[in-house]
Chain A
Amino acid sequence: MDQNNSIPPFQGLASPQGAMTPGMPIFSPMMPYGSGLTPQPVQNTNSLSILEEQQRQQQQQQQQAQQAQQANTGPGTSGQTPQLFHSQTVGGSTTTALPGSTSLYATPLTPMTPITPATPASESSGIVPQLQNIVSTVNLGCKLDLKTIALRARNAEYNPKRFAAVIMRIREPRTTALIFSSGKMVCTGAKSEEQSRLAARKYARVVQKLGFPAKFLDFKIQNMVGSCDVKFPIRLEGLVLTHQQFSSYEPELFPGLIYRMIKPRIVLLIFVSGKVVLTGAKVRGEIYEAFENIYPILKGFRKTT
């Protein structure tokens, strides 16, 4: 469990996603391969020794067994009890764990609370939300002189009258960073967790090369935004009538319906065209889970004409 949170220092910037967050790949081989960024079950051993990897897989299996005992659910849904465990550590190596099986909430240990939108047991949607933006923060651990950074670094803008931070951009991964004089930095625009971390490391290296003793402390992903398309038009008026306590639909203010899901705590923007934007997640699994929760509800409000 500790391995999920600690940052192994020997790993380079190009650490494989699977190695960093071994718990994340809960998603089936049905996932679109073309995204290239989908966390797969850990098979690549770029910067880890084989021994380490075997240890980790054993650990995952132990976790699995633990979860299976505790949750007392069938093998197919062993990982899918997000309300009891972090989504990150859910069913790491189970390749058959489909995102859709989170909808099987009717297990006895997972109470059907009224705050969870009721989801009938159905097959998975087969649609996977794509991540569009990741916002992360990191502490460089030393005070910075923004003027020298702005003068000497490339692609940096600094307008202290407008905003008290240097805005720096890099092309690969295409991201923007706000660097504050306290040494804290915000990195936005990456499309995956690994890219965000890589970009943050690159910015830290730029700052380091300018002569500041930059470190890489407390890297944390603060927000993840995903979007997808359910491919059918949606009756927003019906949705706001039945899910009044979660939805807000004001066509005068915004053309989309704002759905605030309680569990997981995600805000979804649902549009008439069928496009859905999910935001507010700290981990990728929350986005997937939220979409799996909302998909059956949206199917119920499909426009028939």
Chain B
Amino acid sequence: ARATSRALALPRVQCPNHPDALLVEDYRAGDMICPECGLVVGDRVIDVGSEWRTFTNEKAVKDPSRVGDAQNPLLNGGDLTTMISKGTGAASFDEFGNSKYQNRRTMSSSDRAMLNAFKEITTMADRINLPRNIIDRTNNLFKQVYEQKSLKGRANDAIASACLYIACRQEGVPRTFKEICAVSRISKKEIGRCFKLILKALETSVDLITTGDFMSRFCSNLGLPKQVQMAATFIARKAVELDLVPGRSPISVAAAAIYMASQASAEKKTQKEIGDIAGVADVTIRQSYRLIYPRAADLFPPDFKFDTPVDKLPQL
């Protein structure tokens, strides 16, 4: 962290000739320089850079750095406690081999559960390769929910999974409940319940999911080319606009659209494959496909190259 010595309190370092000038810090020499006239105003500023340069490929057994991890002030409330670590030399063990100094008390029991939850969130997010911003948002949501204590009785893992779901939605890249279920030990029902409770507790709302949110993920998981993906997106959007599938979940409509687009192209995928990726049953895809099949000709984008013409599409 840059240490600007321009505190709001009394000792204000300023250039005597230019009191309004913002001082520039030169950390190499430890000086504060006035940009207007070049006068060195403050000197012997403490260097806050790192003490050692550590390289990751060095096989140094101990890290000579004497500072710990970066603090996470947003989430942990600025915990500055220290503790005595276990001894390493021979003198720290008594005759039976037990360590002499046994202080394994938890340093912050109030944050213990929260730290555990953060670890769990990071683990879950890593499984589906979620970026750092979603993890940060999830951590923030969890912290808010945890501090509010309105969902105190619920399992922390359930709340963490629901926070992950909400964070993905809020970032505009929603994941289906089934996808979150796949990386969490909590059931979909419980995640759904916690989701609704958290929205109530934090008084936020989320946007409704649309078919287009899932297209790129499902299509690339299936290995479909960009043309097919764009066609499927167009089909699903058109189907919803024409209200051919009232009351159907957007996931099912998306899956049916992918099926129709892939069957019309060279890369044909079966309903079972699409069902596995999307998390919908193949009968569900069949139902939604039956609803959009009659208007298939209208649903395809105008510039689509048909490998199988519209009238030869499978009729289920």
With both chains docked as a complex, state the minimum distance between the C-beta of B210 and any C-beta of chain A, in angstroms: 9
Q: Are A255 and B249 in contact, CB atoms less than 8 angstroms apart?
A: yes
**In the bound complex, CA of A244 to CA of B199 (Å):** 11
- Whether A65 is near chain B, meaning CB under 8 Å from some CB there, is no
Tell me what chain A mostly uses at the interface: helix, strand, loop, or mixed.
loop
With A233-B246, A253-B177 in contact, is A240–B208 under 8 Å at CB? yes
CB neighbours of A303 from chain B (8 A): 243, 246
Name the residue of chain B whose CB is nearest to the CB of A256: B247
Q: Are B205 and A244 in contact, CB atoms less than 8 angstroms apart?
A: yes
Name the residue of chain A whose CB is nearest to the CB of B245: A272
Q: Are A253 and B192 in contact, CB atoms less than 8 angstroms apart?
A: yes
CB neighbours of A252 from chain B (8 A): 176-177, 192, 209, 249, 251
Q: Are B249 and A272 in contact, CB atoms less than 8 angstroms apart?
A: no
Residues 227-268 of A at the B interface (beta carbon under 8 Å): 233, 237, 240-241, 244-245, 248-253, 255
Which listed residue, B195, B242, B249, touches A251 by the CB 8 Å rule? B249
- Whether A273 is near chain B, meaning CB under 8 Å from some CB there, is yes
With both chains docked as a complex, state the minimum distance between the C-beta of B201 and any C-beta of chain A, in angstroms: 14
Q: Using a Cβ–Cβ cut-off of 8 Å, how many residues does chain A contribute to the interface with B?
A: 18
CB neighbours of A244 from chain B (8 A): 205
Q: Are A305 and B192 in contact, CB atoms less than 8 angstroms apart?
A: no
- Whether A271 is near chain B, meaning CB under 8 Å from some CB there, is yes
Q: Are B176 and A271 in contact, CB atoms less than 8 angstroms apart?
A: no
CB neighbours of B242 from chain A (8 A): 305
**In the bound complex, CA of A272 to CA of B205 (Å):** 21
Which listed residue, A248, A250, A253, A273, touches B247 by the CB 8 Å rule? A273
Tell me what chain B mostly uses at the interface: helix, strand, loop, or mixed.
loop
Name the residue of chain B whose CB is nearest to the CB of A305: B243
Name the residue of chain A whose CB is nearest to the CB of B205: A244
Centre residue among A251, A252, A272 by max chain B CB count within 10 A: A252
**In the bound complex, CA of A272 to CA of B244 (Å):** 12
With A303-B243, A305-B243 in contact, is A251–B205 under 8 Å at CB? no
Q: Are A272 and B246 in contact, CB atoms less than 8 angstroms apart?
A: yes
**In the bound complex, CA of A303 to CA of B244 (Å):** 12
With A248-B196, A250-B192 in contact, is A255–B247 under 8 Å at CB? yes
Interface membership of chain A positions 187-215, coded 1 if the CB is closer than 8 angstroms to chain B and 0 otherwise: 00000000000000000000000000000
Which listed residue, A245, A249, A272, touches B208 by the CB 8 Å rule? A249
List 10 A-B pairs, minimum CB-CB distance, nearest first: A272-B247, A251-B249, A253-B192, A272-B246, A244-B205, A252-B177, A305-B243, A255-B247, A237-B208, A252-B249
27 residue pairs from A and B, CB less than 8 Å apart: A233-B246, A237-B208, A241-B208, A244-B205, A245-B205, A248-B199, A250-B192, A251-B248, A251-B250, A252-B176, A252-B192, A252-B209, A252-B249, A252-B251, A253-B177, A253-B192, A253-B195, A255-B247, A255-B249, A271-B247, A272-B246, A272-B247, A273-B246, A273-B247, A303-B243, A303-B246, A305-B243
Besides A251-B249, A252-B209, A253-B177, 9 new A-B residue pairs in contact (Cβ under 8 A), listed by A number: A248-B196, A250-B195, A251-B209, A251-B250, A252-B176, A252-B177, A252-B249, A255-B249, A272-B246
